[in-house]
Amino acid sequence: MSLWLAFALMTAAAIFAVLWPLGRRKAATGGSDLAVYRDQLDEIARDRADGRIGEAEAEAAKIEVSRRLIAAADASEARQPAVDTAAPAWRRRAAALIGLILLPVGAVALYSVLGSPQLPGQPLAERMASARQDRSIQNLVSQVEAHLEKNPNDVRGYEVVAPVYLRMGRFADAVNARRKVIALAGETSERQSDLGEALAAAANGVVTVDAKAAFERAIELDPKNLKALFFIGIAAEQDGDRHKAAAIFTTMLKDAPADAPWAPVVREALTRVGGTPPAAVAAPAAGQPGPSAADVAAADQMSEKDRGDMIRGMVAKLADRLKEKGDDLAGWQRLLRAYMVLGERDKAKSAAGDARKALASDPEKLRQIDDMIKSMGIEG
């Protein structure tokens, strides 16, 4: 309401600025000039009578002032018709009508087209929390960068800032930081997989040759490195080798603990390449929507299209449930992953906005969902 009141006051001020000049007539200056010259003639006569000037000087001054008086009178007569005809009344009335009607109507129409009258207001607390978080992250990064400028061989500093770079979308900086850690402290399976992840993020999710080499090296150092195995499976999928990708994802799920937080992502990837999740991990945790054992058995007999339709149906059910129970952080995380895996980026963006609104009252959950949204590049 206060916003519309401000708009109304601004429009009224604009209309007043337009109409004010129209309500004034141009003042004639000829009359004031004539009065001045007549006063000068009277003053010359007084000076002559008092003896302050001679006869010759008085006559010369009278002639000059009289000449100016005649010129001013002629100019005043020439200007009078122009004043009367320059701005007829009907033109002023037309301009006033335009200012009173078209200006506010045009302003409202322009705002309705270019503005966002239907956009809901964002709570102040949420905006302030987001701003404080962004500032705190920026301050942290700036402090670490300043420290590294003075201590370029501090491995710990690069290890701290690298994942922050990744979360902020500064992928090139993340790659450089990961390479610096390996150069200074030596390679490990985890460090190689972290480097591969940064390289893949810098390539918009594509597992490039360099990224694949890093993941393969990580597996050489530790065959059970789950991150490296997953990305090798993604690389096989991107190369068109769906069977190899399915084999990798299936192996990961067979060895996965029952409560593994990464299992839903791998299960979705396996379904995407046409595989069937092992029965031991196919069923989700109690109380969470997902395929039952019967669904998994039926999916094994389905065509790829039917299987995809079934998955989308389960995702739709999850989305409907979250509309009723919006404080389920894990549910929102699963929904965002599912949309991204299905390639439905627009739905993922919409769900991200809904999740932020639903979790706005819980700063910790809001922070976690924000971190996930940024890490998945949903807003990019």
Q: How far apart are CA 11 and CA 105, in angstroms?
A: 10
**pLDDT tens for each residue of 240-277:** 898 999 999 998 988 777 667 788 888 888 888 887 77
* CB contact set of 258 (below 8 Å; sequence gap of 6+): 280, 281
**Sorting pLDDT into bands at 50, 70 and 90, what band is 64?**
confident
The per-residue pLDDT for 292 is 45
Q: How far apart are the first and last CA of the chain?
A: 33
pTM over 0.85: no
Does residue 290 carry a pLDDT above 50?
no
Does residue 278 carry a pLDDT above 80?
no
**pLDDT tens for each residue of 326-364:** 888 888 888 888 887 777 888 888 888 888 888 888 888
Per the model's pLDDT, the better-predicted residue between 117 and 57 turns out to be 57
Average pLDDT estimate for 90-101? 68
The per-residue pLDDT for 122 is 55
Does residue 84 carry a pLDDT above 60?
no
Q: Token digits for 47?
A: 């000076």
Q: How far apart are CA 24 and CA 110, in angstroms?
A: 30
**Sorting pLDDT into bands at 50, 70 and 90, what band is 305?**
low
* CB contact set of 276 (below 8 Å; sequence gap of 6+): 270, 282, 296, 299, 300
**Sorting pLDDT into bands at 50, 70 and 90, what band is 129?**
low
The per-residue pLDDT for 286 is 43
Average pLDDT estimate for 111-140? 60
Does residue 187 carry a pLDDT above 90?
yes
How far is CA 341 from each of CA 117, 131, 178, 226, rounded to the nearest angstrom?
Answer: 34, 30, 26, 18
Does residue 33 carry a pLDDT above 70?
no
The per-residue pLDDT for 212 is 94
Annotated domain spans of the chain: 2-114, 125-240
* Structure letter (DSSP) for residue 327: T
Per the model's pLDDT, the better-predicted residue between 299 and 361 turns out to be 361
Chain centre distance of CA 51: 85
Task: Match domain 125-240 to its CATH number in 3.30.1180.20, 1.25.40.10, 2.40.30.10, 3.40.50.300.
Answer: 1.25.40.10
**Sorting pLDDT into bands at 50, 70 and 90, what band is 186?**
very high
**pLDDT tens for each residue of 145-179:** 888 899 999 998 899 889 888 888 889 999 999 99
Does residue 23 carry a pLDDT above 90?
no
Average pLDDT, the chain: 76
Give me the percent of the chain exceeding a pLDDT of 90: 18
Among 227, 234, 225, 228, CA closest to 268 = 234
The per-residue pLDDT for 117 is 55
Lowest mean pLDDT: which of 84-88, 116-120, 227-231?
A: 84-88
**Sorting pLDDT into bands at 50, 70 and 90, what band is 112?**
low
**Sorting pLDDT into bands at 50, 70 and 90, what band is 289?**
very low
Give me the percent of the chain exceeding a pLDDT of 70: 68
Per the model's pLDDT, the better-predicted residue between 171 and 312 turns out to be 171
The per-residue pLDDT for 19 is 65
